[in-house]
Structure 1
Amino acid sequence: MTVFILVAGAFTGPYVWRDTAARLAAEGAEVHTVALTGLGEGPADPGAAVDLETHVADVLAVIDSVDVGRGRDIVLVGHDYGVHPALGAADRRARSVARIVHLDSGMPQDGVPALAAVPDQRLREELSGGGRRQTGALPPPARDGWPRWGSTAGLSEAALDGLTALAAPQPLGTLLQPLRLTGAGAAIPVTGVLCTGNGPGIEMVQLRVDVGDQAFQALADPRVTFFELPTGHWPMLSCPVELAEVLIDAAAGRGHRLTPADGAHPPAHLRPFLLDVPERPRERTGNTDLYLPEGPGPHPAVVFVHGGPVPAGTRPTPRDWPALRGYAGHVAGHGAVGVTLDHRLHAVTDYERAAEDVAAAVARVRADPRVDADRIALWFFSGGGPLTADWLAAPPAWLRCLAVNYPILAPLPNWGVVGGRFHPVRAVAHAGELPIVLVRAGREMAEIAATVEEFLTEAARRGAAVEVVDVPEGRHGFETHDSTDEARAAVRRAVGAVLAHLRA
């Protein structure tokens, strides 16, 4: 028999698990929900401070109450903040816990407080002010404030009303006290349940492994499995039956396993470009490479802006990735200067400095006498999409075209507040007659595809000049994933459209 111990997230308590717990019990499992001190239960001493260690003790008490003999396995499920006390307890009862399930939660590390995982950046800054006492409590969100803590996609009006009515203040000490792990629980098998209405899915996590993000390398361990649920941050309320089925599969060791970045097989971003582009000489200055066409010029230029976030230590850096080199060499073969660059988008909080890097590179390119400064196109990829907002909001006269491939065009729900500046859906209202070429992957990740459709809807409403190039069977990063006739035709069409606007 499997014993599930369910630990709820911030502001919530055992009540959120009602329907999921009932389904698990109907399938023959034993289910315990943890009542965390201060979250609706209240400490024995009203004046006592409640911190993360208090909640770790709450989870330990439930673990210790379970008879783990007779082949009974404990699966410890932590949702949102709840994974922090769950991990703390598992670290101290490693022999009792058979699996830990991270339910739409982060990857807490030793010495890091739960506050670091709060999606709202402004709130993190406010609560992390120096000298703050770890007493008191954070009021629960108002009904319209829950999206600051996670996407409410999939929640009915009644469920949202109930979540709001039963929410309790979150003791500040639980968010501010660092998690302490000895490493004793490191060998416990782990399952991640990703809610794609709230953040990245499995494919995006695999991309982070592929580019060498050290924080993600451990997720490619064969003891780690993944599931996706197409819903928001509270699946126990939006799809409790489906969540129960996933938990049962997780307990059985099923789920998707990531491919490690072990060098045996090149990750997708390092596979050859889908077009056969002759090697061309390049000139490297600072963070910028120029691929020059034949003839003295001045020539129009296409500046290719990579996506991300890309970890700071990634090698090779993006301007040496085959797809970007291929695009730059391809346009150079058609009479335009191809430009690749590296920028400092290493985390979702880095868009401002990445924008500075891109602007500086564009200025340097325009100042080159071999470049026609009045005929420039900017081409953005993937997570570089938010950087288009500056150029859409106030297009300069010399910007003849803006192109985007499989872009993120609005902040994803789990990013928190990244500032209104980097929000292309809002900025497109000011694009005027700027030609926009959007290359859309038909098999795009759901969380990214939603931002593209939102952008296209707003662009149509505002009368923006958008040309969509569809790759129906293409995936995110299709230039190295999908070497098909369809994909090659889409690249040629997109390049042709951009070059036509430069020559107009």
Structure 2
Amino acid sequence: MATFVLVPGLFMGGWAWEAVAAELEAAGHRAVAVTLPAEPAAGLADHVDAVAQVLAAEGPGTVLVAHSYGAFPAVGAVDRQPELVSRVVFVDTGYPESGESVVLSMPQVDLLSGVTGDVVPVPKEIPAVHAVPEAEHERWKRLAVPQPVRTVTDPIELTGAWLRVPTTGVFCLASRLSIEFARSLHATGMPRFAKLAEPGVTFFELPTGHYPMLSAPKELADVLERAADGGGVGLYED
């Protein structure tokens, strides 16, 4: 059985993973959902530290799962301790390069337009395209917290050690991410996308929106189990 460490995206805490964690635990796995520091003064390094502390506590062989923004603190943590992680699973997100910040890597999303003081306010709702059930949507609106602004403006510093770790990408099709899109990135020949076609790198697609932990937790848990065993397809496999 595997140990999964689950890292949330923007505005969310470990609560977002409750249904997925329950599915994994029912199948005999261990699931640890991380809640990242939400204090306005927190920076990206604080979030990296939080994930790194959980990895150190769990020990070698952990499957590290990162949703959306969570890829930044997750990659930062595994870059420090690659020997502790058997696989990184990216849920509907890419991975950063050293020196990048969230706002620089996502220019299409104007995260800073509504900044109040030291935090990015919680959006009013999850768009309908993501098909989050009403009860989960209401829970999200009740529990979501503002994002410390430095977590999205601080650049991440990486040695590249994390690149040795096998990875899996889970693409949510309603977000317009897909294996075909990953192929187009690899085809550019840019060094940052070389890892996409390496041995040990696999992919899944889910017919969901950006929040599968809220809209399809059973299906996501099934994919995470398969990813832990090296399942999925390579970039150029049918």
**How far apart are residue 17 of structure 1 and its match?**
0.5
Distance of 1:117 and 1:162 partners within structure 2? 29
Q: For 1:336-375, what aligned pairs fall within 5 Å after superposition?
A: none
Is 1:81 aligned to residue 58 of structure 2?
no
Distance of 1:153 and 1:24 partners within structure 2? 23
Task: Assess, with a 3 A threshold, how the Cα gap between structure 1 residues 201 and 140 changes in structure 2: closer, same or farther.
Answer: same
Q: Of 182, 194, 205, which residue of structure 1 is paired with 2:171?
A: 194
**How far apart are residue 8 of structure 1 and its match?**
0.3
Q: Of 94, 101, 111, which residue of structure 1 is paired with 2:82?
A: 94
- Percentage identity across paired residues of the two chains: 40
Number of positions where the alignment pairs a residue of Structure 1 with one of Structure 2: 237
**How far apart are residue 156 of structure 1 and its match?**
1.4
State the one-letter code of the partner of 1:27: A
Give the structure with the higher percent helix.
2
Is 1:247 aligned to residue 235 of structure 2?
no
SS at match of 2:64: strand
State the one-letter code of the partner of 1:3: T
Greater length-normalized contact order (CA 8 Å, ≥ 6 residues apart): 2
SS at match of 1:12: coil
State the one-letter code of the partner of 2:84: S
Distance of 1:236 and 1:33 partners within structure 2? 12
Distance of 2:162 and 2:70 partners within structure 1? 16
The match for 2:96 is: 108
For the Cα contact (< 8 Å) 2:92–2:177, is it kept in 1? no
For the Cα contact (< 8 Å) 2:163–2:195, is it kept in 1? no
Which structure has the bigger radius of gyration? 1
Q: Of 160, 180, 184, which residue of structure 2 is paired with 1:207?
A: 184
SS at match of 1:178: coil
Distance of 2:95 and 2:13 partners within structure 1? 21
Q: Of 140, 144, 152, which residue of structure 1 is paired with 2:122?
A: 140
Distance of 1:122 and 1:189 partners within structure 2? 32
Distance of 2:6 and 2:123 partners within structure 1? 22
Is 1:17 aligned to residue 17 of structure 2?
yes
State the one-letter code of the partner of 2:234: R
Task: Assess, with a 3 A threshold, how the Cα gap between structure 1 residues 120 and 141 changes in structure 2: closer, same or farther.
Answer: farther
Q: For 1:314-353, what aligned pairs fall within 5 Å after superposition?
A: none
Task: Assess, with a 3 A threshold, how the Cα gap between structure 1 residues 82 and 67 changes in structure 2: closer, same or farther.
Answer: same
**How far apart are residue 119 of structure 1 and its match?**
6.2
Distance of 1:162 and 1:77 partners within structure 2? 22
**How far apart are residue 52 of structure 1 and its match?**
0.4
**How far apart are residue 152 of structure 1 and its match?**
4.2
Distance of 2:206 and 2:107 partners within structure 1? 19
SS at match of 2:83: coil
**How far apart are residue 162 of structure 1 and its match?**
1.5
Measured on the aligned residues, the alpha-carbon RMSD in Å equals 2.2
Distance of 1:54 and 1:21 partners within structure 2? 24
SS at match of 2:163: coil
For the Cα contact (< 8 Å) 2:79–2:162, is it kept in 1? yes
The match for 2:32 is: 32
State the one-letter code of the partner of 1:79: H
**How far apart are residue 213 of structure 1 and its match?**
4.8
Task: Assess, with a 3 A threshold, how the Cα gap between structure 1 residues 3 and 207 changes in structure 2: closer, same or farther.
Answer: same
**How far apart are residue 259 of structure 1 and its match?**
3.0
The C-alpha deviation readout for 1:348-372, integer Å capped at 9, x for no partner, is xxxxxxxxxxxxxxxxxxxxxxxxx
The match for 1:238 is: 215
Is 1:164 aligned to residue 146 of structure 2?
no
Distance of 2:187 and 2:135 partners within structure 1? 41
State the one-letter code of the partner of 1:233: H
